[in-house]
């Protein structure tokens, strides 16, 4: 089902696009090359263009007008991401709002287990054991310390365990 | 994490070097609380160091409310703060002392500075150890700083300490559960693999009642009062005392000794006491090594 796959791809692309990135970030990414050309190697005076950015409705992650510091940092991040190949300049992924009006998500069957009475008392954290993936000796030691720190911190929550032997 | 042995350090015993300790992290994860607590604890145990407060936006709860010798930048302008930081760092290299820096959260002048200068290497070449303290809570977003710092390597010294703030766990929850997602986060494992140390900052339930009064912890324990405030309750006084005398020593014992200003009056609690009855497998006591 090619059409379905294309829609899925568009949604995933939009999700990836919006994850933890502000509209300002994406605007700068889309206009990366033009920005580079306009700056001509010089410093961008962000304070001078903040009003224009705000008037264009380009916001920070919180939906507000970006400050000069945020704009400067965001631009640095965009340049790093473009340089590292994490973002393609000028690329504008298709957004869900541009999908056909007739499009509907495919129904998904999910079996939800019946809700049981919530335990009032805190339960013991999941037992630690061999990691699911191979880790270095340093990481193993770090995780062991992590577990020890929290076992000590939470010791008042659990009854003492009996030792063998 | 095991401290490095003399063999691993080339047969040379780790040396004490001037320290610059910087706390970073999201806003409201407890950076100032940690630095304020650390400064008071260090001084109570004979350490000498400078205190720098570049968190000029935080007026209500800043280091300057608790310490009379805090240096602050002349203006909140980021460029002024950046220039002020450069002066402080230069002075630290020249004077060979130790300093604790509160840089605040969000977009900081420090972030700008490290984009221009490889700060870790610059200080290291001049014999100063930069200790970066990542303060995190149980939320995944609390790891954004760590992840970003590790990915761009702009500020990722070997002396990296990850302090998990138990005070951010909702009352009644298991802190182990609250932080279980943090444990699985790839950034944590990358940091551990790079040599980061872990510590769990104990919570003080009445922390805000102490800090709202601008009381030092010593004053809070002894029933000190501030004009315009109700006296701290006896129970809160006892809470502070238990936290100060039992929990904080165990916390500071987890931190490599060379990553903190020297505390001649500090005797780490015995390992058995520090580890409690859980007989945990790890939890290295205050280590003399882990030298960068």
Distance from CA of A89 to the nearest CA of B (A): 20
> CB contacts < 8 Å between A and B, how many?
101
What's the half-sphere exposure (Cβ side, CA atoms, 13 Å) at B154? 17
Indicate the SS3 state at residue A90: coil
The CB density around residue B55, as the number of other CB atoms within 10 Å, is 26
pLDDT at residue B242 is higher than 90: yes
Q: Which of residues 181-240 of B touch A (CB under 8 A)?
A: 183, 188-189, 192-193, 195-196, 198-200, 202
d(CA B128, CA B95): 11
Q: Do A148 and B278 touch (CB under 8 A)?
A: yes
C-alpha to C-alpha distance for B178 and B162, rounded to whole angstroms? 16
Q: Do B198 and A152 make contact, defined as CB atoms within 8 angstroms?
A: no
Rounded mean pLDDT of chain B?
Answer: 84
Structure tokens at B229: 């405030």
Pairwise CB contact (< 8 Å): B282 & A145: yes
For residues B146 and B192, the answer to whether their CB atoms sit within 8 Å is no
Tokens 């001509």: give the residue. A40
Calpha distance A29→A17 (Å, rounded): 11
- ipTM over cut 0.85: no
Nearest-Cα distance to chain B for A143, in Å, is 7
User: Over the stretch A145-155, which tens digit does the pLDDT of each residue have?
Assistant: 999 999 888 87
pLDDT at B291 over 50: no
Give the residue from chain A lying closest to B177, CA to CA: A125
Which chain B residues are Cβ-neighbours of A124 within 8 angstroms?
174
Please give the Cα distance from A157 to A119 (Å, whole number).
Answer: 14
Number of Cβ within a 10 Å radius of residue A123? 10
B188: closest CA of chain A, how far (Å): 9
Angstrom distance (rounded) from CA B147 to CA B137: 14
Contact A157 B152 (CB under 8 A): no
With beta carbons less than 8 A apart as the criterion, state whether B167 and B30 touch.
Answer: yes
Chain B positions in Cβ-Cβ contact with residue A155 (cut-off 8 Å)? 276-278
pLDDT(A161) > 90: no
The Cα of B110 is separated from the nearest Cα of chain A by a number of Å equal to 12
Report chain B residues whose CB lies below 8 A from the CB of A147: 176, 183, 280-282
The pLDDT of residue B117: 83
- Residue B58 contacts residue B27 (beta carbons within 8 Å): no
**Nearest CB partner across the interface for A150, out of B152, B176, B189:** B176
- Average pLDDT over every residue of B257-281: 70
pLDDT of residue B2: 44
Specify whether the backbone of B18 is left (phi greater than 0), alpha (psi in -120 to 50) or beta.
beta
Instruction: List Cβ neighbours of B75 (8 Å cut-off, separation of 6 or more).
Output: B81
pLDDT band (50, 70, 90) for residue B255: very high
Segment B30-39 mean pLDDT: 94
Catalogue all structural domains in chain B, each as residue range(s) with its CATH number: 19-203 (3.40.50.300)
Which among B9-13, B61-65, B113-117 has the top mean pLDDT? B61-65
Contact predicate B142/B27, CB 8 Å: no
A143 at the B interface (CB within 8 A)?
yes
CB within 8 Å: B180 and A160: no
For the stretch B7-15, contacts whose Cβ atoms lie closer than 8 Å and that sit 24 or more positions apart, written own/partner, are B9/B289, B9/B291, B14/B258, B14/B288, B14/B289, B14/B290, B14/B291, B15/B258, B15/B291
Predicted TM-score of the model (pTM)? 0.66
Report how far apart, in Å, the C-alpha atoms of B149 and of each of A97, B139, B160, B188 are: 35, 17, 11, 12
* Record: contact A141-B282, CB cut-off 8 A: yes
Chain B residue with Cα closest to A153: B175
Nearest CA in chain A to B199: A149
Task: Name beta bridge partners: B129.
Answer: B19
CA distance A145 to chain B (A): 5
B124-145 confidence digits (pLDDT tens): 999 999 999 999 999 999 998 8
Average of pLDDT values for B254-274?
85
**Is residue A145 a contact partner of residue B271, using CB atoms and an 8 Å limit?**
no
Query: How far is CA A154 from each of CA A115, A130, A131, B272, B273, rounded to the nearest angstrom?
Result: 27, 22, 22, 16, 15
Q: Does A38 touch chain B (CB under 8 A)?
A: no
pLDDT tens digits along B162-216: 999 999 987 667 888 899 999 999 999 999 999 999 999 999 999 999 998 999 9
Instruction: Please tell me if residue B280 touches chain A, with a CB cutoff of 8 Å.
Output: yes
Please tell me the distance from the alpha carbon of residue A78 to that of residue A63, in angstroms, as a whole number: 18
Owner of token pair 């931190």? B255
* Cα–Cα distance for residue pair A101/B135, rounded to 1 Å: 46
Please compute the mean of the pLDDT values over residues B148-161 and round it to a whole number: 86
Q: CA of A28 to nearest chain B CA: how many angstroms apart?
A: 18
- Residue A145 forms contact with B (CB below 8 Å): yes
Cα separation of A27 and A47, whole Å? 17
- Kindly identify which residue of chain B lies nearest to residue A150, measuring between CA atoms: B176
Beta-bridged to residue B23, according to DSSP, are B102, B133
- Region of B223 on the Ramachandran plot (φ > 0 left; ψ -120 to 50 alpha; else beta): left
Q: In this structure, what DSSP letter does residue B265 have?
A: T
pLDDT at B218 over 70: yes
Of A19-28, A105-114, B19-28, B231-240, give the lowest mean pLDDT range.
A105-114
- E strands, chain A, where? none
Considering chain A, what is the average pLDDT of its residues? Answer: 69
Q: Where are the domains of chain A?
A: 2-98, 128-158
Whether the pLDDT of residue A69 is over 70: the answer is: yes
Of A70, A139, A152, the CB nearest to B189: A139
């Amino acid at each position: 089902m090619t059409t379905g796959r294309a829609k899925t791809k568009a949604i995933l692309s939009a999700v990836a696009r919006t994850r933890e990135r502000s509209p300002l970030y994406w605007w700068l990414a889309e206009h990366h090359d033009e920005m580079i050309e306009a700056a001509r190697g010089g410093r961008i005076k962000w304070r001078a263009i903040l009003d224009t950015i705000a008037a264009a409705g380009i916001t920070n992650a919180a939906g507000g007008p970006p400050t000069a510091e945020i704009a400067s940092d965001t631009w640095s991040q965009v340049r790093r991401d473009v340089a590292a190949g994490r973002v393609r300049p000028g690329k504008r992924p298709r957004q869900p709002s541009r999908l056909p009006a007739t499009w509907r998500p495919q129904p998904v069957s999910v079996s939800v287990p019946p809700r049981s009475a919530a335990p009032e008392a805190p339960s013991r954290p999941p037992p630690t054991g061999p990691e699911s993936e191979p880790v270095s000796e340093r990481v193993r030691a770090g995780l062991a310390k992590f577990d020890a720190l929290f076992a000590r911190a939470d010791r008042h929550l659990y009854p003492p365990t009996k030792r063998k032997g | 994490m095991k401290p490095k042995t003399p063999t691993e350090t080339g047969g040379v015993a780790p040396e004490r070097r001037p320290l610059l300790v910087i706390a970073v992290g999201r806003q409201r994860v407890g950076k100032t609380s940690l630095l304020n607590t650390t400064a008071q604890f260090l001084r109570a145990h004979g350490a000498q160091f400078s205190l720098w407060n570049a968190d000029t936006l935080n007026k209500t709860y800043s280091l300057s409310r608790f310490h009379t010798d805090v240096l602050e930048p002349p203006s909140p302008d980021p460029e002024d703060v950046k220039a002020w930081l450069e002066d402080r760092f230069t002075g630290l290299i020249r004077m060979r002392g130790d300093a604790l820096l509160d840089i605040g959260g969000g977009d900081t002048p420090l972030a700008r500075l490290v984009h221009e200068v490889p700060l870790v290497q610059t200080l290291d070449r001049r014999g100063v150890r930069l200790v970066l303290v990542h303060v995190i809570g149980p939320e995944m977003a609390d790891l954004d700083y760590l992840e970003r710092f590790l990915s761009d390597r702009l500020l990722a010294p070997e002396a990296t300490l990850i302090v998990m703030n138990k005070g951010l766990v909702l009352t009644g929850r298991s802190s182990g559960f609250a932080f279980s997602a943090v444990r699985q986060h790839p950034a944590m494992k990358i940091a551990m693999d790079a040599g980061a140390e872990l510590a769990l900052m104990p919570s003080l339930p009445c922390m805000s009642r102490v800090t709202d009064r601008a009381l030092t912890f010593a004053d809070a324990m002894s029933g000190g009062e501030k004009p315009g405030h109700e006296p701290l309750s006896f129970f809160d006084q006892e809470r502070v005392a238990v936290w100060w005398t039992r929990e904080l020593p165990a916390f500071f014992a987890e931190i490599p000794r060379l990553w903190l200003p020297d505390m001649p009056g500090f005797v780490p609690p015995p390992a058995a006491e520090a580890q409690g009855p859980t007989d945990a497998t790890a939890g290295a006591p205050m280590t003399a090594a882990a030298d960068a």
